Amino acid sequence: MIKAATTTLLGLTLLAFAVQPAGAKDAAVQYVPTALSDTVTMLKGQGGNIAVSSGQDGVFIIDDQYSHLADQLMAAIGKVSDEPIRFVINTHYHHDHVGGNEAVGDAGAVIIAHDNIRERMSTEQFSNFFDAATPPWPSDALPVVTFNDRMTLHYNGEPVTAYHVPHGHTDGDSIIHFPSSNVLHMGDIFFNGLYPYIDLDGGGSIDGMIAGVEKGLSLCDGNTQVIPGHGPLANRAGLAEYRDLLVTIRDRVQTLVNEGKTLQEATEANPTADWDEELGGVFIKPDQLVIFVYNSLTGVERYTPLDRETTE
C-alpha cells in the first residue's frame, strides 16, 4: 500500500478541498490520466477514481465523480478520446461516484448499475456517519440498465464484466474486470493508503468487504493493474496486503466481541494500532473503523458514534 508520507499528503489535499470556496475547489481540480493499456485509462481527480475505456466502439467510463465537476470531467475524458461517452457503470451509489450521472446521461450515455443503486438513488438516504440525509436523485441521474449478480459489456475488443459484491462497502457495489487489458476497478471495496469507509447505513459490512477483496484477488495475476476507489493505482500484492489488514482487524475485533467487550471498550483496546500512524489520519479515524467493524459483527446496521465526553 501507499507509504505514510504520501498518505499524509493525500490527507492535506482532502483538507484543502474542504476549506476552500466552491469555485476555488473546482479550479484546483486537475484530472491526471494514466494509460493502463491500449484502451483503458485511469483518471484521478476529486472523488472516486475513474476508468475510461476508449477504442473502436467509442467510450465508456466507470464512475463519474461529483455533479459540480461534470463539465471538467467530460473535458478531461475528451482529452483521452474525442468520441462521445456511450455508457457509464456506477460502482455504488455515493455522490463522489454517481454525481456526474445526470450530465453524462443528458449527453447520451446509458447509465448501468446494480439494482440496489437505482433503488437507493430513487429514495431519500440517511447516513448516521455524516448525520445527513440525501434526497432522491433526479430521474435523469438514475441508472436505466440494472443487473443483479453480474453483467458483461462487450466493448472495445474485450468482455468487460461487472461483478456484484453483496454487502461490501454498501449493498450495491460492483467490481469491474477488463480481462484483455488485465485491469481491475475495485470501486470502494478497495481504499488504497487510507482506512476504508464501511457504509453500514447503506448495507455495508466488514465480511462483505473482505469477500469483495477476495473476489478481486481471484481475478488478478502478478501483472494486473488494480484501480482502487480511492488512492493510487495498485497491483495484486497491494490488494492482498489490504485484504490481510481487513482480516486482521476483523479478527481482533471479533475476539473483543467474544470477550464481551462493549463498543467503548473495543475502541479503547485499539485493535488498529499497527496501522494508525500510516492510515488513520487521512479520512476514517481508527475509532471510526472499529465502530464499523464492531457494529457489523454484532448486527447493528448503522453507524453509532461514541459519546464525545468518553473519547476526549
Q: What DSSP string describes 149-167?
A: SEEEEEETTEEEEEEEETT
How far, in Å, CA of 142 to CA of 127, rounded? Answer: 20
Residue 66: partners with Cβ closer than 8 Å, 6 or more residues away:
46, 47, 95, 96, 99, 100
Instruction: Taking residues 94-99, report their average pLDDT.
Output: 98
Instruction: Taking residues 153-161, report their average pLDDT.
Output: 98
Residue 206 vs residue 3, higher pLDDT: 206
- Is residue 126 within a helix (H) or strand (E), and if so which, with residue range? strand 125-127
Mean pLDDT score of the chain, rounded to an integer? 92
Spatial strand order in the sheet of 145-147: 32-35, 40-44, 50-55, 58-62, 85-89, 110-114, 145-147
Residue pLDDT, tens place only, 108-133 = 999 999 999 999 999 999 999 999 99
pLDDT in the model for residue 296: 99
The domain 4-241 is classified under which CATH number: 2.120.10.30, 3.40.109.10, 3.60.15.10, 3.20.20.210? 3.60.15.10
Per-residue DSSP letter, 40: E
275 neighbors 196 (Cβ within 8 angstroms): no
Instruction: Using the predicted structure, report yes or no on whether residue 309 has a pLDDT greater than 60.
Output: no
Confidence of residue 29 (pLDDT cuts 50, 70, 90): confident
How far, in Å, CA of 302 to CA of 219, rounded? Answer: 31
